[in-house]
Amino acid sequence: MVSGLLALSSCGTPQPTTQDTTIQGNVFASASAGGAPVQGARVTANLGDSTQSVITGPDGRFSLKLNTARTAQAFTITVEPPARSNLYASTYDNVPLEAYRSQYGAANELSIYLGTTRPSAALPGAAPRRGCLTGLLKDLGGQPVVSNALAVVSVSGGKPVPRPLYDNCATELTAIPNLAAGFATLPQPGETGLVIYGGSRVVRTDAQGKYLMPIQTTQNLHAVSGAMWAGNYDGGEESETSASVFWSKFQYIPEVPVFTSGATDTRDITLEAFDPATNPRVTTQPIRYDAGAIDKANNAVFDVYTSPSFEPAITSGTFPLGEYYTVDPAGGHNLRVPKLGQDNRAQNVTVETSLYRYSADGENVTGTSSFTAWRDGTNLGGALTANFIGIPAPQAPAQAEEKTPRMPTLSWNSVPNAKTYVVGVYRVTDTGATPVWVGYTTNTSLKVPLTLEANAEYLWQVSTDDSTEMLDYIGKDPLSAEAARWKSAGGLAKGRHLESALNTWRGEVAAGVLQATGQLPQFLGGPAAAYQRLQETGYRSSDSQEFTFTTGN
């Protein structure tokens, strides 16, 4: 009888239908703006029917307690920067709650980074230490290789910029002023007598075949070490529908130490043919293209660019191997690449391919889709197909829409195999585009949580990929993703120009990353399990067409 009463009492005890959940963490500025904590940012969290806001303190700290139904599974968090901070807002939508709820009652930490509208801000660092590398560049017959590179080169978009030249190793190495100047340091089609150190700095030989390479580091080291590549970037083939450029001659030196005490090190380099038919150090990587997932409505035109590069080590930059272009993704190419040992897993050949979809007249880009594959000694030379992911199609606001609400809801179509959508809103000005807000969601619509300016022009774009989960974006610098989305049509004459205010701004971001790291980011890294399989599966991403709208009163 007693046990029955106990059972009745237990069954009759009402169970709580709500619970308290704490969401807490810190807000930081982008690393490009110094990475400091952001004081005065407004953090707003929505969980179920509960909404709370708080202003961050001097340490960028926030803590929000929300009481909502126990059935709530995901939350949304928006961070608005303080006024005149040169930072822009972020929203993370549909974030899995379990990822931040501890079984012991204390919430896990959120680290949120806000992008900056001024990505080229100088960061503090140690005083630079300098060294010098010099020598002769020779062909197999011992003759000097004289560069034909001009002091001014033309880069994608037809803008001529000066190629950096160094008369002596005491030359101050200044910041790259813009992406065009940064791109000009890369090998240009037809150039000869080029020497690259560490994958990032390119110099040319003089009339005697001599090169002079200033080396600089902000680390307190007495010596640095990097790989070297040298050669003539004047090989190529061309037809009515395709074109390519690659090294006709090359030399690769795995490790070249340079003392940074102001001394000069000497290293002569002898070139050999970069031809798989005559040189056992060179092979080919075949690639074919599959654009079946991409909508080709209204007689759209496809351009495809493939850029292989060599990654000799994680401590060195990448060396560009060529550019391959084709109209429509029919057929493919045989890419010339260095041959790796069969068991070599420490080095990679990266194959980056971008598909640009244009309007029928070829004047407007209506979306891009990219594919990246990595090949080491175990699979280099095997069959490779660049099977692109679909391109998101913006739905609302419509292109050139007027009197759009000042807190619009952005919507787009679903893309098969997409993980997370990244949607950005940018203010259009006379000087270009300035980011206002970026949102991350697994849904196909998201409301802008800010009140936009009245009677102002904005543009918006949505991007996605097949690997990055929502949680991978949290704690990452949004400017890294912006830099990775910069698009270049390469240096080939057949390439169409990619002119847009948004791509220009991303170019400025990419220039800052290039200056800081010596290379452009390929994708947004993260701990997702999918990233561990990139060697087998590759990586796919896409960007929608840029849509503009004008707000109402």
pLDDT in tens, 56-66: 999 999 999 98
> Where is 472: in which H helix or E strand?
helix 470-473
The pairing of beta strand 457-465 with beta strand 61-69: unpaired
* Between residues 359 and 496, the one the model is more confident about: 359
Residue from 432, 459, 408 nearest 117 by CA: 432
Per-residue DSSP letters for 10-31? HHHSPPPSEEEEEEEEEEEE-G
* 97-101, 461-465, 467-471: which is most confident: 461-465
On the CB side of 293, how many CA atoms lie within 13 Å of its CA? 23
Percent of the chain with pLDDT over 70: 80
Edge-to-edge strand order for the sheet containing 223-233? 201-204, 191-197, 223-233, 249-259, 272-273
Residue 534: φ, ψ to 5°? -60, -30
Which residues is 396 bridged to in the sheet? 411
Confidence of residue 119 (pLDDT cuts 50, 70, 90): low
> Where is 112: in which H helix or E strand?
strand 109-114
Confidence of residue 8 (pLDDT cuts 50, 70, 90): very low
Supply 464's token pair. 């996605």
Which residues is 374 bridged to in the sheet? 350
CA dist 160 to 101, 150, 157, 246, 509, Å?
Answer: 55, 11, 9, 22, 20
In this predicted structure, the answer to whether residue 105 has a pLDDT above a threshold of 60 is no
Per-residue DSSP letters for 210-275? EEEEEEEESS--SEEEEEEEEEEE-EEEE-SSEEEEE-SEEEEEEEEEEE-EEEEEE--EE-EE--
Report the sign of the C-alpha dihedral through residues 313, 318, 323, 327, in that order: positive
Supply 72's token pair. 């709530």
Q: Which of 201-210, 264-273, 349-358, 411-420 bottoms out in mean pLDDT, i.e. has the lowest?
A: 201-210
Q: Which of 79-88, 154-163, 426-435 bottoms out in mean pLDDT, i.e. has the lowest?
A: 154-163
Q: What confidence tens digit (pLDDT) does each residue in 216-232 have?
A: 776 656 777 889 999 99
Confidence of residue 153 (pLDDT cuts 50, 70, 90): low
Give residue 522's pLDDT: 58
Give residue 10's pLDDT: 46
In this predicted structure, the answer to whether residue 169 has a pLDDT above a threshold of 80 is no
Give residue 33's pLDDT: 73
CA dist 502 to 107, 432, 485, 487, 498, Å?
Answer: 38, 7, 10, 10, 10
Q: Cα torsion for 180, 181, 183, 189, to the nearest 10°? A: 100
Mean pLDDT of 425-441: 92
- Per the listing, tokens 């400017």 go with 479
Mean pLDDT of 341-356: 91
In this predicted structure, the answer to whether residue 360 has a pLDDT above a threshold of 80 is yes
Supply 205's token pair. 């030989």
Confidence of residue 239 (pLDDT cuts 50, 70, 90): confident
Q: How far apart are CA 437 and CA 325, in angstroms?
A: 35
CB of 114 closer than 8 Å to CB of 89: yes
Mean pLDDT of 234-249: 91
For residue 182, give the amino acid letter: G
Task: Tell me the average pLDDT of the chain.
Answer: 83
Q: How far apart are CA 426 and CA 437, in angstroms?
A: 7
Number of other CB atoms surrounding residue 177 within 10 Å: 13
In this predicted structure, the answer to whether residue 460 has a pLDDT above a threshold of 70 is yes
Q: How far apart are CA 67 and CA 49, in angstroms?
A: 9
Report the sign of the C-alpha dihedral through residues 366, 327, 183, 537, in that order: positive
Confidence of residue 11 (pLDDT cuts 50, 70, 90): low
In this predicted structure, the answer to whether residue 529 has a pLDDT above a threshold of 90 is no
Mean pLDDT of 226-252: 92
In this predicted structure, the answer to whether residue 81 has a pLDDT above a threshold of 60 is yes
Give residue 412's pLDDT: 98
Report the sign of the C-alpha dihedral through residues 290, 371, 274, 161, in that order: positive
CA dist 522 to 311, 403, 530, Å?
Answer: 13, 37, 16
* Between residues 417 and 528, the one the model is more confident about: 417
Supply 273's token pair. 């043919």
* Between residues 215 and 402, the one the model is more confident about: 402
pTM over 0.75: yes
Confidence of residue 175 (pLDDT cuts 50, 70, 90): very low
* 108-122, 278-292, 499-513: which is most confident: 278-292
In this predicted structure, the answer to whether residue 102 has a pLDDT above a threshold of 70 is no
On the CB side of 155, how many CA atoms lie within 13 Å of its CA? 20
Give residue 500's pLDDT: 80
Q: Which of 168-172, 257-261, 495-499 bottoms out in mean pLDDT, i.e. has the lowest?
A: 168-172
Distance of CA 512 to the CA centre of its chain: 12
Percent of the chain with pLDDT over 90: 50
Mean pLDDT of 436-445: 97
Mean pLDDT of 76-105: 85
Q: How far apart are CA 411 and CA 378, in angstroms?
A: 43
In this predicted structure, the answer to whether residue 449 has a pLDDT above a threshold of 50 is yes
